[in-house]
Amino acid sequence: MIEKRQLGNKGPEVGCLGYGAMALEGYYGAVDEADAIATIQHALDLGMDFIDSADAYGEGHNELLIAKAIKARRDDAFICTKFGIVYDANDAGTDMETGWGVSLRINGAPGYVKKSLQLSRSRLGVDVIDLWYAHYPDPSIPIEDTVGAMAECVQAGDVRYLGLCNVSAEEVRRANEVHPIAAVQFEYSLWRREVETTLLPTLRELGIALIPWSPLGGGFLTGEVKQLAADDFRHNNPRYAGANLDINRDRFAPLMQLAKDFRITPAQLALSWLLHQGEDIIPVPGTRKAERLDENAASANVQLDAETLEQIDRIAPAGLAEGATLV
């Protein structure tokens, strides 16, 4: 079992590496349902109990899948899900450009907050959601109103802890005044490091955990991405598009070589590096494959000394990757 970490300065202990279940919705290619359930259960067996989902992943399907996987073992899992990306065409919201050439519809209105919670609880088959995030701040609703409605769900006993995703430091402060925020998700990895200066200092001041999403750069940092299938959603990501993929491969080649020198995989180097950035950091790597969970879990045992961490800073400084980011 992997070691535990505290979720923020007031939260419970959870596995130091979570499991990102978005990969089970076909964004990286098809997944058989029995394999998907077995993968979630294997994550639990390894102590990767911090299971990350969202109502929008597979338009509700991801939560249904998790329900099947945890049915007989609810107490082994710490269930995290999100609301706010509108996935039902009948629902209103504010359209937002993401920087990936696709737009998202966001709804953080109190009525939508309450409705989303009941749908997620029902699909997950749980009375209480352990950690519930707003997936994006709604540009047309003050964050205080969204978090106020989320806080009422905590008071009603339907949610244990609140989280936010893809927010600024200022939005975190405002939200935290309304109700304590346990965790904030933002993209963070060796190919996207700006949170180190924009968000992390505020989270540390307020005692909030940072949950890096796409901790493997959506797969790039594993060194295993050769050619994307036609239906792979990473075609939307400018870092994978056109000439950028080759440019990024060249720029990150020394990092891949470093992993080889240490006789670990590039995925293990990327995850271990994140774990070394602070005890308040709990990455949620995703995979469709149970055997890759073993590989990723083993990164919790990799020790990087100060000299190596400095070497990584020189090889992969902030801003190294070519191509725009999401948000």
Ligand X SMILES: NC(=O)c1ccc[n+]([C@@H]2O[C@H](COP(=O)([O-])OP(=O)(O)OC[C@H]3O[C@@H](n4cnc5c(N)ncnc54)[C@H](OP(=O)(O)O)[C@@H]3O)[C@@H](O)[C@H]2O)c1
Catalytic residue IDs: 57
DSSP label of 28: T
| Least distance in angstroms from the C-beta of 285 to ligand X | 4
Report the residue number, 48 or 267, with the smaller CB distance to ligand X.
267
- Strand order of the β-sheet with 183-187 is 19-20, 50-52, 78-83, 129-134, 159-165, 183-187, 209-213
**Min. distance of Cβ 306 from ligand X in angstroms?**
26
Q: Which residue is nearest to ligand X (CB)?
A: 20
41 or 222: CB nearest ligand X:
222
- By beta-carbon proximity to ligand X, the closer residue of 252 and 306 is 252
Please say which residue, 121 or 234, places its beta carbon nearer to ligand X. Answer: 234
Q: Phi, psi (5° rounding) for residue 184?
A: -125, 130
* Residue 139, token pair as written in the block: 């540009």
CA 37 to chain centre: 19
Cβ burial, residue 262 (10 Å; 0-12/13-18/19+)? middle
- CA distance to 9, 102, 264, 269, per residue, from 319 (Å): 30, 23, 25, 19
State the nearest-atom distance from the C-beta of 85 to ligand X, in Å: 8
76: nearest Cα among 86, 66, 84: 66
Contact assessment for residue 62 and residue 73, using Cβ atoms and an 8 Å cutoff: no
CB of 258 to ligand X, least distance (A): 16
Bridge partner list, 80 = 52, 131
Query: What is the torsional sign of CA 168, 169, 174, 178?
Result: positive
Rounded to a whole number of angstroms, the minimum distance from the CB of residue 289 to ligand X is: 5
Residue 267's closest CA among 245, 281, 286?
286
State the residues that interact with ligand X by CB under 6 A: 20-23, 28, 52, 135, 165-166, 185, 213-219, 222, 224, 267, 284-289, 292, 295-296
Element (H, E) at 210: strand 209-213
**Nearest residue (CB) to ligand X, 155 versus 226:** 226
Q: Half-sphere exposure of residue 49, counting CA atoms within 13 Å on the CB side? A: 20
Polymer length in residues for the chain? 327
User: Minimum CB separation from ligand X for residue 23, in Å?
Assistant: 5
Nearer to ligand X, 274 or 307 (CB): 274
